[in-house]
Structure 1
């Protein structure tokens, strides 16, 4: 008979959650003696130690166990073959740590439980029910929503990440139902992470509404014909069997045959010899000391492992900090072999390439620089010309003496650059990775100091190497202009004398390594390791492959459009001259100012320091509400920009060999996490104008292929509804309503069925404008209405949606207190001017309000992009472009629907499992021969 009963308190720890949390929250760590990965074990042991320390006093558990998953397979896979099928395998360096966490648990004298064929959640459910039935209390240490069905009658959860207890009311807050109906809600909503199918189109909120209305799932399915919404009703009827299977998948097996008794789980003190022996074996010095102090014994002595020697190389390359004269020129295979040996000894290398161009698609590799420890850097010249820089464009093209064979050097370096055990460190590593990819070298794994700085310092400064070196290393690098010159007389790097190139190139690698040593530990201290590891670093190879792929462009279409734009500009110029009373140079701001303010006498003109009238877009937009001429000028400028920036310039960007345009994405270009596109910029092509859509017609698929566009629908408004808790917007999104019509109905009291396009357009402008902190002035410009009317719209908006004003005020207050804002995924965006006075204050305030929303949206699409390649593997498809909320693919005809299904699933589930949004993410898909058709 069991002794467990009333007065006893059982604590059940979700061990798998502890492991993954430790792995992803902490930087990599290896055992010094043999390189065994132990970072997750270290974090796991720290969590166990903290749990033991914290659980003291009257409420301390009397019984405890840590529960693990035996494997990724369970009885649920027999019910549904695709259960958890989409989950990627665990990281390679985590696999050997799993058994060590079990050993660690036993070293603390805590039972470690795992049972073949069952998940940890089932074991936790079984033991919880046994303890509850015996009259005891249970605390489940986990944040897993699947365990919330167990809460109640003496069972509660504790979320260690949020330091928050979850009782029945906490479950209601999460699911909108109490624990006994959680399974019903999950069966309807499904789970994209575990691949539980559920009812398509029904999310958590809608599921909760249905269950609360009908009482339980069985009743709902039996009375599905009574559901009012046709689409929802049909889904429940058609997918009833799938929903019932989902219910079985999410129901924990509390009646399973668990061979463990509650009495076996009684709390016991650890054996000092066993615990300290394990910590010594793992070489956890700090933890050993803490544990020894806690147990009142002496910590075991641990011998420091001897560092490998490299005297031969160090004698050749003295380690003198930033002594450029000491950098080494690596001229032959023997010398490079010694460097490679030292790289393997160290396990990492900073690397940089020198090329003939900033355009990776046109650049030729000239040399490679390496750095293995600060001050120990060298340069491998490969393609320097004998003529040097003195003979200009017509110099000698023969190779300079004292260089390795290009092929020989790459053959020696390729295994190192592709070796998964060697970390390659770069500054803007995407550039170097593309240079190497073009010669058949796939560089991995990588670290990027530019992206580390971006994760740490976004909003404070730029992240170029020169600025980082001066700011963080107090060292000014050799300027490139001192080697290449400037203007028409500038040379390319292959014309730089080798001796000069060595100093410049090796210094770059040296600086990069020092920045890495500085930034890497700071990531964890600043709590941005996850941002860097999940959203910055993994994006580098994804973007590199997209940029190398490029997109096919129809040159003839662009040429025809340029001619059409020229004709339209000429027609507008005639109309402008008629409105102005005389012809003038429309492209001259000075002449335009004279027409508007001197001759026509329009109000509101202001002169600048030069005495000329200001005629910027903001001035013209204001005037356009009062007079036709400024609006025509704006139209002319738009056409002129489209012609010069796109239809003319894009023709120059078509690559001679590929026939495609290869844009370049800057990961660290915008403070909020948005990607920036350059050379050419493909993200600013207007999509709401006929002309912009026609430009997209020039982007075409290869023969036998089509383009597929997948676009998040109103993602920033959805995030606003989630963050600000706007119930009206949440419900509208959950119901799949036209959000702009719903907003207009709420603001103006017009039923949705009576909505006019003009009223909807006004609501749409306000919806999007509010996200960017739009003022009455700005809205008046957008809608070309009087300012007082526009301000009235904004005032009414905040009256109807007070949560938005509260969100804005909270965001600004947080930024003022902490000097930053944070996205929902932990990205930190610094706001250094938030407490400034003067004109910058308003801008900083608007930026703080918008940054969380735009940054969270950017994080979501980054998460989608890093998962996309695995999701579409095996399909004859590739991802080509990212335009903020849109991803563009090229796919063989006949496979487009499969591509859309897979990509949509990734995009709509991209926030999970880190975040469960209160509104559904919706992705619109389109197919076409060109981008305009697809979008």
Structure 2
């Protein structure tokens, strides 16, 4: 290996030359205040860049030491970073390649440097390549050391073996093993770039386009969100924590009066409580677990409550209390206690782990904590969204795609009624109400009309479910558990039949999509993101029907995910000129920012333009992004005319 240490800008220039592709990797170490904190080196608020390795040719790399406590560092730390900013990181003529680009992008963003396109994240590329005939790599299969060993037979020592308990800035950069470790990361990142692109060319050319055009700029955006973090109102959280504790105690006391003090535990699912329900009270087992034990999940509690309304009315209150107890227990443990454990001690904010390829359709996932399941405003009794609050002088601004999956579905199925509604800015739920019930459109939008609320609720659930092959039993269950409507299975069948008859393009697209998937064994987004669904050939009806739903779900949900990621890429391109625009959260179809209070109009205009731009030339359904702002996330005010 041709690995060398260099110290001056002119040496960097000589190494890079006119290379059009540069792989890079950072070694980091905690700042003095945080040196005893585990994983502080991974936090750009508690750590700094110790050194940078670069590779422009396979088998070759250089390491630039910036802030080692042992040995010699670069002559001009600031000058090196400024040179690399202009020559590499913000150079539109150089492809920037990194493994887990969001990490490097985060540390650069902390220094005011935005990684510009073209860029390439090899960890994203890894997850878009197959590890077996029908299975893509997941995140745990995509570590640099693992890939370097499995794909190139490299001997890659891990961090612990090289550092022997030391922090990286305590290593002498000129030491052979230190240099080899640092340089190998950028060298093998470059090798992966070429390896994966060769694989894409032979197997899935569209996936290379997705890596370059969608996933890599999204990684940069994720680095920004990770660095900015979610601003939290800790005082409000502590207050609600006490209220939730009191609420749980009150509910528990009332449950104990009914049960005689049976131990129900933290979630009302103890063996003692099961024995009380099914042995002492003699209630029927309406649902079992995979291990054929009596189930006590939320759906079971609802079914038992319904049973008791008819057979044991004296027990209805017990199940109401149990459901309330569980709801408050989950809200407290997940959204108060859970969130509080992840507040960063340096920033007072939450900096979740963001995974842009966390689902098979390409939608985001997050962990530590999972902010993707943050309750919506209309289902948030604790006021979780109020915990997310802007600092004084700032605002939170949110832009949310309006019905993006339904718009994508209309684009796919080419149903003229659906397309017409969106093209004239109409109300798709009202249109579906007219289709299902055969009533005039004027009655469907009249809030004072008989059965308006119930009909609109059914129409909404049909719209959001029937694209994905919702059956009558599924619609019945959804309406019962999510909307509180008790509709018979026969009526649900009539509703779905009416819907399909009223939207003939929908049924035609569904049939064609399932047939195509049964032939190819995969589904794709419009831009070619592939998902294998071999279960579509299963003789097991359950597995096959699930695969058929995946075949219909993937093009719609996956294309919607691609659209929001394309918007992120456009936002990244404009953030250099708008450093005050700070993205910090993405939830499904919503992008959330922190901005100075006097920048609202400019922020909304810019982000809205980025989100509403036609994502690809064939897309002919208008895209609408709705804006709202406020001092906390739970009490946002709609921006009129936006």
Question: If the TM-score is normalised by the length of the shorter chain, which range does it land in?
Answer: 0.7 to 0.9
Q: Deviations over 1:84-142 (max 9, x none)?
A: xxxxxxxxxxxxxxxxxxxxxxxxxxxxxxxxxxxxxxxxxxxxxxxxxxxxxxxxxxx
Corresponding residue of 1:547: 226
Q: Per chain length, whose mean CA-contact separation is higher, i.e. which structure has more relative contact order (CA < 8 Å, sep 6+)? A: 2
C-alpha contact 2:377 2:634 (8 A) present in aligned 1:
no
| Residue 338 (structure 1) shift | 5.5
CA distance in 1, matches of 2:153, 2:513: 34
Q: Deviations over 1:639-673 (max 9, x none)?
A: 32332222223334344444433344322222222
| Residue 501 (structure 1) shift | 5.0
Q: 2:515 aligns with which of 805, 813, 817?
A: 813
Corresponding residue of 1:723: 412
Corresponding residue of 2:593: 889
* Change over 3 Å in CA distance of 1:713–1:508 after alignment to 2: same
* Change over 3 Å in CA distance of 1:691–1:501 after alignment to 2: farther
Corresponding residue of 1:534: 213
| Gap regions ≥5 residues in structure 1 | 1-316, 319-327, 385-398
Give 3-state SS (helix, strand or coil) of 2:107's partner. Answer: helix
| Residue 576 (structure 1) shift | 4.2
CA distance in 1, matches of 2:85, 2:251: 57
CA distance in 1, matches of 2:378, 2:489: 28
Corresponding residue of 1:746: 435
Give 3-state SS (helix, strand or coil) of 1:349's partner. Answer: strand
The answer as to 2:537 corresponding to 1:857 is no
CA distance in 2, matches of 1:590, 1:495: 51
Q: Deviations over 1:605-645 (max 9, x none)?
A: 32554x75343455456556545555654443333233222
CA RMSD of aligned residues (A): 3.7
Corresponding residue of 1:415: 83
C-alpha contact 2:217 2:568 (8 A) present in aligned 1:
no
CA distance in 1, matches of 2:631, 2:81: 42
Corresponding residue of 1:510: 187
CA distance in 1, matches of 2:413, 2:252: 47
C-alpha contact 1:427 1:449 (8 A) present in aligned 2:
yes
Taking the TM superposition and a 5 Å limit, the aligned residue runs for 1:364-763 are 364-377=48-61, 399=69, 401=70, 403-405=71-73, 408=76, 411-412=79-80, 414-416=82-84, 418-419=86-87, 420=91, 421-439=93-111, 442-444=114-116, 446-456=119-129, 460-463=136-139, 464-466=142-144, 468-469=147-148, 472-473=151-152, 477-479=156-158, 502=179, 504-524=181-201, 526-528=204-206, 529-577=208-256, 582-586=261-265, 587=267, 589-591=269-271, 592-600=273-281, 601-606=283-288, 608-609=290-291, 612-617=293-298, 619-620=300-301, 623=304, 625-626=306-307, 628=316, 632-691=321-380, 694-750=383-439, 751-752=443-444, 753=446, 754=449, 755-763=451-459
* Change over 3 Å in CA distance of 1:557–1:831 after alignment to 2: same
Corresponding residue of 1:788: 489
Give 3-state SS (helix, strand or coil) of 1:565's partner. Answer: helix
Q: Deviations over 1:158-214 (max 9, x none)?
A: xxxxxxxxxxxxxxxxxxxxxxxxxxxxxxxxxxxxxxxxxxxxxxxxxxxxxxxxx
C-alpha contact 1:693 1:932 (8 A) present in aligned 2:
no
C-alpha contact 2:120 2:211 (8 A) present in aligned 1:
no
Taking the TM superposition and a 5 Å limit, the aligned residue runs for 1:331-346 are 333=7, 341-344=14-17, 346=19
* Change over 3 Å in CA distance of 1:630–1:768 after alignment to 2: farther
| Residue 548 (structure 1) shift | 2.5
C-alpha contact 2:435 2:498 (8 A) present in aligned 1:
no
* Change over 3 Å in CA distance of 1:351–1:874 after alignment to 2: closer
| Residue 579 (structure 1) shift | 5.9
The answer as to 2:624 corresponding to 1:928 is no
Corresponding residue of 1:64: none
| Residue 851 (structure 1) shift | 1.0
| Residue 803 (structure 1) shift | 3.2
The answer as to 2:556 corresponding to 1:867 is no
| Residue 697 (structure 1) shift | 1.4
| Residue 582 (structure 1) shift | 4.6
C-alpha contact 2:4 2:61 (8 A) present in aligned 1:
no
C-alpha contact 2:394 2:596 (8 A) present in aligned 1:
yes
Taking the TM superposition and a 5 Å limit, the aligned residue runs for 1:303-322 are 317=1
Q: 2:475 aligns with which of 749, 755, 779?
A: 779
When normalised by structure 2's length, the TM-score is: 0.79
* Change over 3 Å in CA distance of 1:641–1:821 after alignment to 2: same
Give 3-state SS (helix, strand or coil) of 2:603's partner. Answer: helix
* Change over 3 Å in CA distance of 1:476–1:870 after alignment to 2: closer
| Residue 374 (structure 1) shift | 3.0
| Residue 373 (structure 1) shift | 3.1
Give 3-state SS (helix, strand or coil) of 1:930's partner. Answer: coil
CA distance in 1, matches of 2:574, 2:4: 45
CA distance in 1, matches of 2:473, 2:294: 20
Q: Across the two proteins, how many residue pairs are aligned to each other?
A: 585
C-alpha contact 1:459 1:671 (8 A) present in aligned 2:
no
Give 3-state SS (helix, strand or coil) of 1:424's partner. Answer: strand
Give 3-state SS (helix, strand or coil) of 2:461's partner. Answer: helix
When normalised by structure 1's length, the TM-score is: 0.56
* Change over 3 Å in CA distance of 1:520–1:607 after alignment to 2: closer
Structure 1 or 2, whichever has the larger Rg, is: 1
